[in-house]
Structure 1
Amino acid sequence: MNTNNTTILYVEDEENVREMLSRFLKRFCKELYVAQDGAEGLELYKKHRPDIVISDIRMPKMNGLEMVKAIKAIDVSQLILLLSAHSDSEFLYEAINLAVDGYILKPIDLDMVNEKLKNLLNRIQNRKAAQKLKESEKKLKLLSQAIEQMEEMVRITDVKGNIIYVNPASVKHTQFSQDESLGQNNRIFKSGVHQKEFYDNLWKSILGGNTYQNILINKKKDGSLYYDEKIISPLKDENGNINYFVSTGRDITERIALEKQLKKLATKDTLTGIYNRYKINTIIEDEIKRAKRYGEIFSLIMLDIDNFKKVNDTYGHDTGDYVLQEISRVVLGTIRKTDSFGRWGGEEFILVAPHTNKDEALELAQKIRKNIEKHLFEYVKQITVSIGVTQYTTNEESTTLIKRVDNALYEAKANGRNQVAFL
């Protein structure tokens, strides 16, 4: 693509990374604006309004996510790539909700950057072509060379949804040829996933003269499903009557899969597969909000593996990892579906038990302790745990609640281990 008019804003606080990637990015744009932190990046964005924003997440003054929020408030359609390290898992869940256009993990792979940028540059070109077609509202010119060459799927239908045009990209993605598409109704792409209400809302919007934007799960000719990022615009005649609809779509199945993967990374402990500390903290805060609003009760249960250092020192860290995984399985097989279980750090675990009072929490904690005690672990044979239990009190904040359950755990260990204590 011709990049003579493309502008890029690149925000990175690490000097070596910034200099290396800046040299590479200059190949793709007319002008490259470079900032060292989010605050400086936001000012450059407001001044120059670049086509593409590329930003690291961890930065001083204003981090990348804060800057992206501010940018999205200015222009929700701004194209943004985020650079993220594997250690940034606590930020990934929030990054997904910001609906950025791509993620590049550090250390940076320039081939990946090249691929991502080419995709964004094509989208810029396609946006401009589609916008030009929409503004013209001249149906006789819709079969232009620009649409024929677009990588996005383009379909034109009448007001009943009957197809009168599909571009080559649509043929390629859906596997329906032009002959198989023309004259058919859009229903040939329905996946059966969406409810009737979903399509009712779609038609209500476009028949009302509005442009409709959403992600549809559609079906190809071979029956396989794909995520279609769809924009549907009504085309009106000189009297304001809607005669046609033009839709552009982009297959974002791979992006959705990546977002699901990143969402899992952001909320799950990689060793045990249970919730991580970030996610458990979020659940605790949500339970506190419900408790304050509706007067509900809940309890926390914190457990720690007794003499775990001895396991690592005697049998090695592989066996230690196995013990952590096995305890996670035992606890998951003991608790209720409504409970949330996560790894707090090291050999400590925490359980959030909604609608559970002191007596119920103590009963559950004892059940967990006994199930772990009687479980036969390979190599180490027997493992025990000490458990602290506490119940949420009215108008309490998370810091004091967590501190109290931690103190209860300490009391259980101080009293001889392999027991339950309540505070």
Structure 2
Amino acid sequence: MKIVNGWLQQSSPIRYMHWLGRSFLRFIAAWALVCLVLLFVVLSLCFSNTQEQLARDFDRSFALYPMEVREVKELVNQRLYILSQSQVIQDYVQHPNDSHFSNIGQALITLAGKFQLSGDFYYADAKIQRTIGIVEKNEKYQLKDSLPDGLSTQRFSQGVDRSVDRFHFQSRQNNVPADYLFISVPVMDRSDQLSGWVINVFSMPQLARIFRLTESHELVQRAAVLTPYGMYAGPRGQLTRTIVQQHFPLSDLKQALSDVMKLTHYQSYSMRIGFAGTLFINRALVEQHYDVAFLYMPYSLILKHMEGWLIGSVLIDCFAFILGTIYIRQYLATKARQHELLISVSVQKALFESNIVMIVIDYKGIIRQANQYSLNYFNLHQDELIGTHIEQILAFAPSIKYIVKRTQLENGWFGEVEVSHGQQTVYLKFSSTPVYDKNQLIFCVLSGVDMQKQNDVEFKLTQRANTDPLTGLYNRRYLEEQIIRELKQCERSHQALSLVLFDIDSFKKINDQHGHYVGDQILVGLSKLTLEQIRGNDIVARWGGEEFVLLLPATNLEEAEQIALNLQQKIADLIWDNGVKYTCSFGVSCWQPSISASELFQQADDMLYAAKSAGRNQVFCWKTSRQQSV
């Protein structure tokens, strides 16, 4: 009846908001997932596009690399030739003495500032036994009377080609990439004999500043170039150089270049380096050989370049999420109201057509509507009810006037009612639900259930819950309740209580040999036999599988033992209709003060286990002083 009361009232705001809240969260979670997926797709496309743009910039710029190399070489050769023809150097060539030699350094500093030279400059005699030079530090030149760090005179002389002007790379140690680039120009005396060398020395960072590999300042700093003579990198290109060294054997430059060419097939190539970035590879033909440019592009750099897209995409996605949230909320609110109305109508219709007495009256007691079950229950017709006062047809105790008054005062009424119609008198569990219009009571919905029928249904449900469906005996649930009840009775009255636990010996073997149908028939037959042997106040239940329990109130251990022995003998002597003969083992325990139901059952279970261990078909009892077979 409370269900009827709830659904026939106006829509509950709490229930409505609860339903709306759960649906709203589900839709918002789905919409948030959609927005995140869209954001991921957009950012992935932006990321890929930015990466391709940077790669194209790198490829386009490196295409000019061979021309830049030639221009730089020609420019450096021109400057070196000018230096070789300077007055100071020519004075030393004509008159080689210490005074003229020391003036060469100051002259080189002056000429470097005048011609905006780059790199380090040295003058060496013909045998490269005596050198003087200037080094570039912080965009200024300083005198230096020794060779570059780590270079011996022998290695320095090996880096100077006495016959041809060209690039020369020299490393500090054998079998490592080059650290320096040498460009040399010979100095001839008046008789056209070699008198010395003017040499331009570039470290790898200096060389990287000369050759612009990309149009982006940040990218050129990260790039590196591999040549047949060595490898040079930008100021921030050490990471690129390290990545290249991990994948190509730079100790053998020719082999490294060969591996790169095979990998790239003489075209641009990109190599993914784990989850951190991508290594771009490009090549260019320079003076009969290929130079290869590398650019390691970490994903953080790509994200930095797409910073605008990133912020814009996130803002647009958030805006779409907010708009979607507003729309979803409005949609769900409308849907929830429609849902509430549909449920209310459907529930009212279902309840009105259910198997309960339901009559609608106004506040004066005039019948407005009655369901079909009410008509059949009282053997009435719809025509003789509508518009008639209810008490002209049915007699109520308490009266309808009392019920309507209590309904209005208490916003509903529930109780037992005696209803009479002719010679028929029934007792109903009755409820009256008010229906208001602008706070005025206009209808009362009377609904009732036959108490006798309800009691019958409840009894059947209880029986079903407490009975084993196969044997018809009580089940484990019911027995556990009865054991607790009997133990409380024993504690109050100090009367005896015994428990017998028994099961069929080798029951699995019977099932395997004769089938489960025969096994079920044996369980049913054993249940009937046990019911025939017990007393009226004894309780027998199927504990589970082939195990059964006898609960014997007001029975001491000796009496329980005798009951178990009698039952054991009956089972052992009987040959069943299906031709199967079997036995049972028994465990008996008796309640003692201060022991619990679980302990009482455990004692019987221990005795059953002992009977099984002793050969089956036996009765074992729990003695307080010791365990003993009977």
Normalized against structure 2, the TM-score is what?
Answer: 0.36
**Aligned partners of 1:175 and 1:220 also within 8 Å:** no
Q: Please say if 1:148 is aligned against 2:154.
A: no
How far apart are residue 316 of structure 1 and its match? 0.3
> What is the DSSP-based 3-state SS (H/G/I as helix, E as strand, rest coil) of the residue aligned with 1:378?
coil
User: For 1:88-121, what per-residue CA distance to the aligned partner results, in whole angstroms no more than 9, with x for missing partners?
Assistant: xxxxxxxxxxxxxxxxxxxxxxxxxx99x95677
Q: 2:469 aligns with which of 270, 276, 301?
A: 270
Quote the residue 1:228 is aligned against: 428
Distance in 1 (alpha carbons) for counterparts of 2:420 and 2:570:
47
Asked if 1:357 is matched to 2:363, the reply is: no
Query: Residues 274-306 of structure 1, C-alpha deviation per residue, up to 9 Å, x if partnerless?
Result: 111111111111111111222222100111101
For residues 336-357 of structure 1, give each alpha carbon's deviation from its aligned partner in whole angstroms, at most 9, with x where no partner exists.
Answer: 1101111111111001000000
Gaps of 5+ in 2: 1-6, 24-341, 408-412, 434-444, 623-630
Distance 2:379 2:432 in 1: 21
Which residue number in structure 2 is paired with residue 327 of structure 1?
526
Q: CA 1:173/1:373 → structure 2, altered by over 3 Å: closer, same or farther?
A: same
Cα pair distance change 1:185/1:298, threshold 3 Å? same
Taking a change above 3 Å as real, the CA distance of residues 341 and 219 of structure 1, as seen in their structure-2 partners, is farther
Give the corresponding residue for 2:500. Answer: 301
Deviation at 1:265, TM superposition (A): 2.7
Q: Label 1:251 to 1:414 Cα distance change in 2 as closer, same or farther (>3 A).
A: same
Secondary structure at the aligned position of 1:275 is classed as: coil
What residue identity is the alignment partner of 1:175? N
- Counterpart of 2:499 in 1: which secondary structure? strand
Amino acid of the structure 2 residue aligned with 1:148: R
Per-residue Cα deviation, 1:152-205 (whole angstroms, up to 9, x for no partner) = xxxxxxxxxxxxxxxx864442115669x9668849xxxxxxxxxxx9xx89xx
d(CA) in 1 for partners of 2:419 and 2:449?
11
2:540 alignment partner, SS class: strand
Structure 1 pair 8–374 and aligned structure 2 pair: CA distance change class (3 A): farther
CA-CA distance at 1:307 after TM superposition: 1.3
Q: CA deviation at 1:255?
A: 5.7
Which of structures 1 and 2 has the bigger CA Rg?
A: 2
**Superposed displacement of residue 381, structure 1:** 3.2
Structure 1 pair 326–293 and aligned structure 2 pair: CA distance change class (3 A): same
In the alignment, structure 1 segments of 5+ residues that lack a partner are 10-25, 35-113, 152-167, 188-198, 234-245
Conserved? CA contact 1:386–1:418, under 8 Å: yes
The AA in structure 2 aligned to 1:229 is: K
Is 1:316 the counterpart of 2:515? The answer is yes
**Which one-letter code corresponds to 2:378 in the other structure?**
T
SS in 2 for 1:333: helix
Greater alpha carbon shift after TM alignment, 255-264 vs 350-359: 255-264
- Is 1:365–1:387's contact at 8 Å kept on the other side of the alignment? yes
Q: Counterpart of 2:11?
A: 5
Cα 1:353–1:320 change in 2 (3 A) is same
Q: How does 1:4-403 map to 2 (within 5 A)?
A: 5=11, 140=364, 142-143=365-366, 147-151=367-371, 170-175=374-379, 186=395, 213=414, 228-231=428-431, 248-251=447-450, 258-403=457-602
DSSP-derived class of the 2:595 partner: coil
Aligned CA distance change for structure 1 residues 331 and 214 (closer, same or farther; 3 Å): farther
Q: Supply the distance in 2 between the matched residues of 1:358 and 1:402 (Cα, whole angstroms).
A: 14
State the secondary structure of the residue aligned to 2:542. strand
User: Would the aligned equivalents of 2:393 and 2:421 in 1 still touch at CA under 8 Å?
Assistant: no
User: Offset of 1:264 from its aligned partner?
Assistant: 2.3
Structure 1 counterpart SS, 2:533: coil
> 1:413 deviation in Å?
1.7
For normalisation by structure 1, the TM-score amounts to 0.52
1:174 alignment partner AA? F
Is the 8 Å Cα contact of residues 312 and 320 (structure 1) preserved in structure 2? yes
